[in-house]
A and B are shown apart, each in its own frame.
Chain A
Amino acid sequence: MENLDIARNHLLAPTGLSDEDVNKALSAALGGSIDAADLYFQSTTRESWSLDDGIVKDASFNLEHGVGVRAMSGDKTGFAYSDDIAMSALLESSQAARSIAKSTGTNEMQSWRVQSGHMLYTPDNPLSVLNENEKMDLLREADATARAADPRVKQVMVSLVGSQEVILIARSDGTLAADVRPLVRFNVNVIVEQNGRREQGFMGGGGRYDYKKFIALDAANEFSREAVRQALVNLDAKDAPAGNMTVVLGPGWPGVLLHEAIGHGLEGDFNRKGTSAFSGRIGERVASPGVTVVDDGTLPNRRGSLNIDDEGTLTQCTTLIEDGILKGYMQDRLNGKLSKTTSTGNGRRESYAHQTMPRMTNTYMLAGEHDPQEILASVDKGFYAVNFGGGQVDITSGKFVFSASEAYMVENGKITYPVKGATLIGDGPDVLTRVGMIGNDLKLDTGVGTCGKEGQSVPVGVGQPTMRIDGITVGGTQA
């Protein structure tokens, strides 16, 4: 109940709105062929501090609020929003949203029923646990550590970003739910130079906790040293190979493979419409035996976790692939209903001004039984990638890419030399059938993922153990 009270105070009280007013606005969106409607009230405070060239030269503070109104009729959606949380604007948005309905009728609001959420993070303001000087100290310490780590470090960019989001969801079926979501992030980016050659390294992390966690993690020192290490490795990197080869992926963030190769293709909207390469394939083998992949929104304090999703549904752990067999899709309410199943708690939106869609939370592969050293030792000749940038997928053809930022050649089971980053490309429904060995070292990423879909960004997590793929195309320059 605490979150609901916070949300009422934050979102409704300033303009004197009551639950009764919310009921009226929803009723205005209902009627005729409209079979469901919802309101999404949101208030977000966000700040970011940044350092480059050795000084904290800028910081910004952002405050936004608004309300989105959605009216649904079968597979049709009307949507409107306003940055003015007041009765007149609410009614206007409700009218605009329900304009997709052709006839008038009398669907009615159900009586309120409170949906409480998980308690995966606390509703305290994550920004106020440190004062301005303490925040700047974090940035300056990271800068000093990176510069002290190696004389070849030429530039250090550090940023500290935090936000608190208060949301209130009211649905025409009477569901009332609220969440207060902290999210913080600390990034270090360095550029090193040696004999005129420049390379970069990056380390970042964060989650749904407050800034004090960065002090506990010693992020200012740990992240800086890791960013410098990566950059220095790249100074010695040779050109990457081109062609199909055995690839070993390290644990943690390389799980972005799963996000692109299968995650998007298993989102309910694409499958309901039949536009995904995975459409209609539930029950089929899409991965090697031993491969189990889940999407889990219930991990405490993770970047991709949510107490409730953006439709007020409890998040859950959904099994996508079990022992190689495709088990299920990720659904929001609309696509769940149209697919004759239910929401899996994956209904998400970037903000009140965006429409809900099925989105991932934390997507990862469960651990296998092999020691990671044993996996490397099994490779005669191949490519070993431990750090990645982003990826992308064409869900219809199933082709996906993800780009390595730290990689090595492996020969006779041993790492030989570092190679430049390269993009890897594969086929989603096929790539996991080539998984040859799975490590016992499952790791989740450090909290850096942002997923883009139809122009909307949401924070997500990924993870995996070390994994060997027997054949994927590496896009280097050395043919």
Chain B
Amino acid sequence: MSATPDRITNDDSLESLLSQAVEYARANGADQIEVAASNDKGYSVTARLGEVETVEHHNQRSMGVTVYRGKAKGSASTNIVTPEAVNRTIDSALNIAKFTAEDECAGLADAELMANNYLQLDLDHPWAIEPDSALQQAIRCEEVARDDKRIVNSEGASVSSIGTQLTYANSHGFVGEYHGTRHSISCSVVAGDDKGMQRDYWYSVERDANNLEDVEAIGAMACERTVRRLGARGLKTCSVPILFEPTLARSLLGHLFSAISGGALYREASFLLDSINKQVLPDWITITEDPHMLGALGSAPFDHEGVRTQSRKVVEDGVLQGYVLSSYSARKLGMQTTANAGGVHNVKISDSNKSQQDLLKDMGKGLLATELIGHGVNTVTGDYSRGASGFWVENGEIQYPVEEITVAGNLADMFVNISAVGNDVDRRGNIQCGSILIENMTIAGGS
């Protein structure tokens, strides 16, 4: 990690466009303005049944502006990134701000919070690979995934490589820009027997393609995860512990972050109102946010308002230390922004130093959930009810695959009933965590 006064300068046309936009807005009646632009470039290829299926070339730009006339706000955006179109967009935003109501809490984040001399976080790793060789990788990945006679069909394997340039400027004089890459390989196949078909998948995503999982390992994992679902049965309705695989455990932490986000809190639309300094998780759990991890998917030197991001403990010893705030929601709550305009950055949860195998043993009898579907999560009440599939576990060992069941509880209870967090951490996202074991949830089934 290195602090540098110089910005990335390999394409400064967006920066100068944005600086001009700030000038134009101020000259035309804006008291404050912020403008952000992005450009995504790359491609994705998909192979299915051994042959190319699609080749997609991406090149997407967008520019968004927010202006304030006094404390009245207006926003506008476009994908036409020419100086004239940018000015027209600012005019639209200025017009809106003539009508919207004055709001004491509105405005840019405070000038002293700007990420001047922001960090370079090693996020930009272009992958020197042509679509044709990417396609060969996809074909090999799918070939490995289909190398099992129970695999009867395929949804294909994809390789994708995208580079993003993000630029932000505001009327405090802050201008920031960073580039980041995102490369991924994924594979999804279908297994079948006389009872029906099952689909599952596996993927790897990294900023640096050198860190991607090997294509053959991805294919093998997709195959294994799919065939193990064959012969799934239903369950009787019961109350048991549930072990959520890391990919699903991540969604549980996502619900926690939704409930402590400023927008939900100031609208009183959360089951975790006034929860600062209160016990929301068991006392052995600590959750950190680390925006400055080098090369990580969730890293960012500044948030969507130009505010310097900072490492912090969100939960310590199970006690909530801070919310997830932008400058607006912070002012509404009489607090300071946590540099989370646009979301959280690299969240990690402490683990119980146990493998998934250990957790299955701890659970004894219950459900290992490997997929959740549906939207049955109510952030206002914490009520939680989702469709699930996975594996029935007895004596700490997987017995058989299950499907067509629901898992239900209330998130506030589920969080305090976490009895262990695995060390099988899934690093493929902004929230990194291992399997989570929760005591006493309701499973509904039709058997």
Contacts and interface: CB of A to CB of B under 8 A. Distances in A.
Contact of B267 (A77, A97, A155, A399): A155
Nearest to B61: A83
B96 A61 contact: yes
A440 interface: no
Contacts of B73: 57-58
Given A61-B92, A242-B408, A52 B267 contact: yes
Given A191-B267, A473-B405, A79 B54 contact: yes
Interface string B45-67: 00010011111111111100000
Contacts of A62: 76-78
A355 B56 contact: yes
Given A60-B75, A274-B153, A471-B446, A403 B237 contact: no
B199 interface: yes
B445 interface: yes
B338 to A, nearest CB: 21
B386 A475 contact: yes
Interface in B401-447: 403-410, 442-446
Contacts of A32: none
B149 interface: no
Interface stretch (B15-23, B315-323, B371-379): B371-379
A427 B59 contact: no
B220 interface: no
Interface string A417-444: 0001111111100000000000000000
A233 B88 CA distance: 47
Interface stretch (A172-180, A192-200, A317-325, A340-348): A192-200
Prevailing SS type, chain A contact patch: strand
A412 interface: no
Q: Size band of the A side of the interface?
A: 35 or more
A133 B101 CA distance: 11
Contact of A100 (B55, B77, B153): B55
A10 interface: no
Contacts, number: 255
Given A191-B380, A394-B373, A397-B198, A60 B76 contact: yes
A114 interface: no
A63 B59 CA distance: 17
Interface in A86-121: 93, 96-97, 99-100
Interface in B179-201: 190, 196-199
B404 A427 contact: yes
A423 B389 contact: no
Nearest to A200: B380
Pairs A-B, 10 closest by C-beta atoms: A475-B406, A401-B387, A401-B374, A242-B444, A423-B376, A60-B75, A396-B199, A55-B101, A80-B57, A244-B446
Interface of B: 48, 51-62, 73-81, 85, 88-89, 92-93, 95-96, 98-101, 103, 106, 131, 153, 155, 190, 196-199, 229, 232, 237-239, 266-269, 271, 332, 371, 373-376, 378, 380-381, 383, 385-387, 389, 403-410, 442-446
